[in-house]
Amino acid sequence: MISRIDHISIAVKHYEKARHFFQHIFGAIAGAGDINHEKKYFWQIFSLGDLSRLELIHPTGPKGLLEKYLGNKDGGVHHISLQTPDIQKARQKLEDHGVPYFGYNEYGDFWKEIFIHPRDAFGVLIQIAEFNPDDWLDKSKILPKKQKWGLEKTETGCTLSVAHPGGGKVKLELTAAQIRQLIQELDQYC
């Protein structure tokens, strides 16, 4: 039902301060972002390292989605987003097990979601969504479409980048000896 944790969403009152913190101190790379005019908040995805992601969400006006949540605090973990390959199967699994959910939304063919309230999920708001994670990442964090791997020469060997099924890519630093060993092992299996 669940492919992986996609990201942790952090609600913040001071977006620029939070963005600076994650980008300049931790090296986060900004990906997709947009304003939800109806619910009055801005969201932006950030990549950390090869496979970790977080989302910053920030109110854009009064009486929006985040007003009550932020209340008298500057920020906090708002929800955990889990990726599913099939939102309808996920809904059915929840129904079969008596787990209530709410907020079913479809945004075109690129994002389908439901939520489980914290009272039904041990104090955590859970978002379950069906999507292609590469659609939300900065282009530097993904390989070109249909490419499964890429190589870059280094002084001691190469960097092998491999497309990750959860979106993005994983980088492996290989020495010349490790490359030769990998070639030998691939020859044995292919």
DSSP string, 44-97: EEEEETTTEEEEEEEE-STTSTTHHHHTTSSEEEEEEEEE-S-HHHHHHHHHHT
What number of other Cβ atoms are within 10 A of residue 40's Cβ?
16
The predicted model gives 59-80 an average pLDDT of 95
Q: Return d(Cα 185, Cα 167) in angstroms, integer.
A: 26
Residue 166 has pLDDT above 90, yes or no: no
- Which domains are seen in the chain, by residue range? 4-136 (3.10.180.10), 142-189 (no CATH)
pLDDT at 124: 96
> What is the band of 180 on the pLDDT scale with cuts at 50, 70, 90?
very high
Model confidence, pTM: 0.87
